[in-house]
C-alpha cells in the first residue's frame, strides 16, 4: 500500500526509484530496468538532464524529426520538430514541398512587445492614486536600473508603465501594466524581476504618500502577448494549385469554405487550431522554448473577439488564392534551455542560429504549413488515409511485430485501407 513520504527530494535517484517501486510499481514487471535504460551513459550529460527539474528519476524521450524544403522569404530551411504524433512531420514536409515551387512562405514580424503586471488593491480615492502614480512612475524605472542595464545596452528594456483601473471588474482592483522589449530572450525572468522591484518601490512610496495602504497581491508576467505578433502567408494563382488529380478552382473554394467554418464554429475551430499547434509546439519544443506559455497565449488570442475562432484565414481574390495567419509568439534564442540542452543547441544551429524574430517567423510557418496540410487532406482525400498509414508502425509495434512481419504488412497496406482492426486481422492472419 502506498504511503506518504517525508524528505523525498533529499533521496538519491536510486533511492527515489526504490521508493516508487515499493509503493506504486511492485506489480509492474521490470519497472527498474525500464527507468534505468533511459539513463544516459555519459554521466556529465545525465547530470545536466537531472538538474533541469526536481526529483528526476529518468529521462523521457521524444522523437526529434526534420521537415526539409521550407522556403521562407526566399531562404531554404530544414525545420527540427519534436513531437510524438505520427504524420505531423510528414504533413509539414509535404506542405513545404508543395509551396517551394509556388513562391514559398512569406513572413513578417509585426511587433515584439511583452507584458507584465503588478496586481494590487487600493481602497482610497482613484484620483489621488493616479496623481501618486504619475509622480512615482519615473522612480519605478530608476529603481529597476540594476536589472535593466544589460538589457538596455542591447536595445531592450522597459517600454512603459501604466496604471490601470480595474474596479469595474473587481472591487478595489488596480494594475501596474508594464510593457517590455526583451530582444532574443523570452524574458520571463527579466520581466518578473522588474515587476517585483516595481512592487517594492510602489508600496514603499505609497506608505508615505497615500492615505490608504496599497496591498500588493502579486507581480507576474503575462503569457498573453497580443502585441508580440508575427504574420505568415502563402499565395499563388488559383490555377497553380493544380496537383495530381485536384481541380484547382474546386480545391481553392472548398479550402476557403473550410477555413470559414473554423472562423464561425468553435467546435471546429478548436480542432483546426490544434492542428496548427502540432506544427508550432513541435518547433517550440525542439528549440527549448516554453510550449505551454505559447499554447496559452495563442488560444487566448483565438478568443480575443469574444468567441473562439480560427487562427488562419483564406480568400480568393482576382484569381489568386491567399492563406495566412497572424499569431502571438513570445520566443527566445538565448537563456534557459537554449544554452544548456545539447539538442536545443543543435536545433538552433540547423536553423542557422536565428534571433528571436527569425524564430518567430520559422515557428509561425510550421503552424501554417501544418494547417495547410490538414485542410488539404480534409477537403480532398480525407485525413485518415494519410494519418493511418503513418500510424501503421505504431500499431505494429504494439503487437511487437518482427522486422519480417512489418515488411509484409506495410507492403499489404500500400494498396489497402489502414484501420486498427484491419491491421490486427492482417497480423493474426500472417501469424497463423
336 pLDDT more than 90: no
pLDDT of residue 225: 97
Highest mean pLDDT among 194-198, 378-382, 399-403: 194-198
383 pLDDT more than 60: no
What digits encode the pLDDT tens for the residues 287-312? 999 999 999 999 999 999 999 999 99
Given 290, 357, 358, 391, which residue is catalytic? Answer: 290
213 pLDDT more than 70: yes
How far is CA 219 from each of CA 168, 209, 216, rounded to the nearest angstrom? Answer: 21, 21, 8
- 148: closest CA among 161, 136, 164, 135? 161
pLDDT of residue 419: 75
Say how far apart CA 359 and CA 59 lie, in whole Å.
27
What percent of the chain is modeled with pLDDT above 90? 84
Q: Considering the entire predicted model, what is its pTM?
A: 0.87
User: Which of 37-46, 246-255, 369-378, 398-407 has the lowest average pLDDT?
Assistant: 398-407
Q: Which residues pair with 322 in a beta bridge?
A: 235, 315
pLDDT of residue 248: 94
pLDDT of residue 104: 98
pLDDT of residue 356: 96
pLDDT of residue 421: 80
Q: Return the C-alpha cell found at 252.
A: 481553392
What digits encode the pLDDT tens for the residues 79-129? 999 999 989 999 999 999 999 999 999 999 999 999 999 999 999 999 999
390 pLDDT more than 70: no
pLDDT of residue 244: 75
Instruction: Output 354 or 387, whichever has higher pLDDT.
Output: 354
389 pLDDT more than 60: no
265 pLDDT more than 80: yes
64-109+226-381 CATH fold:
3.90.770
85 is catalytic: yes
CA 262, 268, 271 angle in degrees (round to 5)?
Answer: 110
Confidence of residue 417 (pLDDT cuts 50, 70, 90): confident
Question: Could you please report the per-residue DSSP string of 100-167?
Answer: HTTT-BEEEE----EEEEEEEE--S-HHHHHHHHHHHHHHHHHHTHHHHHHHHHTT-EEEEEEEEE-T
Give the DSSP letter of residue 381.
T
CA 53, 59, 60 angle in degrees (round to 5)?
Answer: 105
Instruction: Output 282 or 3, whichever has higher pLDDT.
Output: 282
69 pLDDT more than 90: yes
Confidence of residue 337 (pLDDT cuts 50, 70, 90): confident
319 with 305: CB under 8 angstroms? no
pLDDT of residue 411: 78
Please measure the distance between the N-terminal and C-terminal CA atoms of the chain and give it in whole angstroms: 43
- 127: closest CA among 253, 212, 238, 21? 212
How far is CA 282 from each of CA 228, 238, 256, 337, rounded to the nearest angstrom? Answer: 20, 30, 26, 15
pLDDT of residue 412: 78
Given 49, 272, 387, 391, which residue is catalytic? Answer: 387
Classify residue 234 as exposed, middle or buried by CB count within 10 Å of its CB (0-12, 13-18, 19+). Answer: buried
What digits encode the pLDDT tens for the residues 159-185? 999 999 999 999 999 999 999 999 999
Give the DSSP letter of residue 61.
-
Sequence-separated (6 or more) residues with CB below 8 Å from residue 16: 8, 55, 57
Query: Can you say how many angstroms the Cα of residue 400 is from the centroid of all Cα atoms in its chain?
Result: 33
pLDDT of residue 332: 95
Given 97, 128, 166, 274, which residue is catalytic? Answer: 274
CATH 3.30.70.420 in the chain: give the residue spans: 114-221
Given 13, 32, 85, 299, which residue is catalytic? Answer: 85
CATH 3.90.770.10 in the chain: give the residue spans: 64-109+226-381
Q: Note the CATH number of domain 114-221.
A: 3.30.70.420
Confidence of residue 353 (pLDDT cuts 50, 70, 90): very high
pLDDT of residue 1: 54
**Mean pLDDT confidence for 222-231:** 97
274 is catalytic: yes
387 pLDDT more than 60: no
Amino acid at each position: 500500500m502506498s504511503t506518504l513520504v517525508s524528505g523525498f527530494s533529499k533521496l538519491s535517484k536510486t533511492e527515489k526509484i526504490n521508493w516508487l517501486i515499493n509503493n506504486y510499481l511492485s506489480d509492474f514487471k521490470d519497472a527498474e530496468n525500464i527507468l534505468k535504460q533511459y539513463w544516459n551513459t555519459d554521466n556529465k550529460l545525465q547530470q545536466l538532464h537531472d538538474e533541469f527539474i526536481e526529483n528526476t528519476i529518468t529521462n523521457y524521450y521524444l522523437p526529434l524529426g526534420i521537415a526539409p524544403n521550407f522556403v521562407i522569404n526566399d531562404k531554404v530551411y530544414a525545420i527540427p520538430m519534436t513531437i510524438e504524433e505520427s504524420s505531423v512531420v510528414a504533413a509539414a514536409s509535404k506542405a513545404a514541398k508543395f509551396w517551394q515551387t509556388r513562391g514559398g512562405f512569406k513572413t513578417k514580424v509585426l511587433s515584439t512587445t511583452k507584458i507584465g503586471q503588478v496586481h494590487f488593491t487600493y481602497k482610497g480615492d482613484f484620483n489621488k492614486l493616479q496623481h501618486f502614480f504619475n509622480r512615482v512612475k519615473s522612480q519605478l524605472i530608476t529603481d529597476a536600473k540594476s536589472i535593466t542595464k544589460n538589457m538596455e545596452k542591447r536595445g531592450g528594456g522597459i517600454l512603459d508603465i501604466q496604471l490601470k483601473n480595474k474596479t469595474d471588474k473587481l472591487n478595489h482592483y488596480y494594475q501596474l501594466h508594464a510593457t517590455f522589449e526583451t530582444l532574443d530572450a523570452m524574458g520571463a525572468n527579466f520581466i518578473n524581476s522588474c515587476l517585483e522591484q516595481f512592487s517594492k518601490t510602489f508600496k514603499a512610496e505609497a506608505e508615505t504618500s497615500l492615505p490608504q495602504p496599497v496591498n500588493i497581491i502579486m507581480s507576474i508576467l503575462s503569457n498573453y502577448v497580443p502585441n508580440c505578433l508575427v504574420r505568415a502567408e502563402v499565395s499563388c494563382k488559383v490555377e497553380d494549385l493544380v496537383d495530381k488529380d485536384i481541380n484547382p478552382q474546386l480545391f481553392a473554394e472548398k479550402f476557403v469554405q473550410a477555413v470559414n467554418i473554423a472562423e464561425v464554429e468553435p467546435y471546429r475551430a478548436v480542432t483546426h487550431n490544434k492542428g496548427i499547434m502540432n506544427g508550432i509546439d513541435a518547433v517550440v519544443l525542439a528549440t527549448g522554448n516554453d510550449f505551454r506559455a505559447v499554447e496559452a497565449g495563442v488560444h487566448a488570442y483565438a478568443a480575443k473577439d469574444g468567441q473562439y475562432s480560427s487562427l488562419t484565414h483564406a480568400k480568393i481574390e482576382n484569381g489568386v488564392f491567399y492563406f495566412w495567419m497572424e499569431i502571438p509568439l513570445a520566443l527566445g534564442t538565448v537563456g534557459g534551455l537554449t544554452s544548456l540542452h545539447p539538442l536545443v543547441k543543435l536545433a538552433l544551429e540547423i536553423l542557422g542560429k536565428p534571433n528571436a524574430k527569425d524564430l518567430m517567423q520559422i515557428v509561425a510557418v510550421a503552424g501554417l504549413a501544418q494547417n495547410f496540410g490538414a485542410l488539404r487532406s480534409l477537403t480532398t482525400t480525407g485525413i485518415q488515409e494519410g494519418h493511418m498509414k503513418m500510424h501503421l508502425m505504431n500499431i505494429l509495434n504494439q503487437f511487437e511485430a518482427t522486422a519480417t512481419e512489418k515488411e509484409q504488412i506495410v507492403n499489404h497496406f500500400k494498396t489497402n485501407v489502414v484501420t486498427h482492426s484491419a491491421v490486427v486481422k492482417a497480423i493474426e492472419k500472417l501469424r497463423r
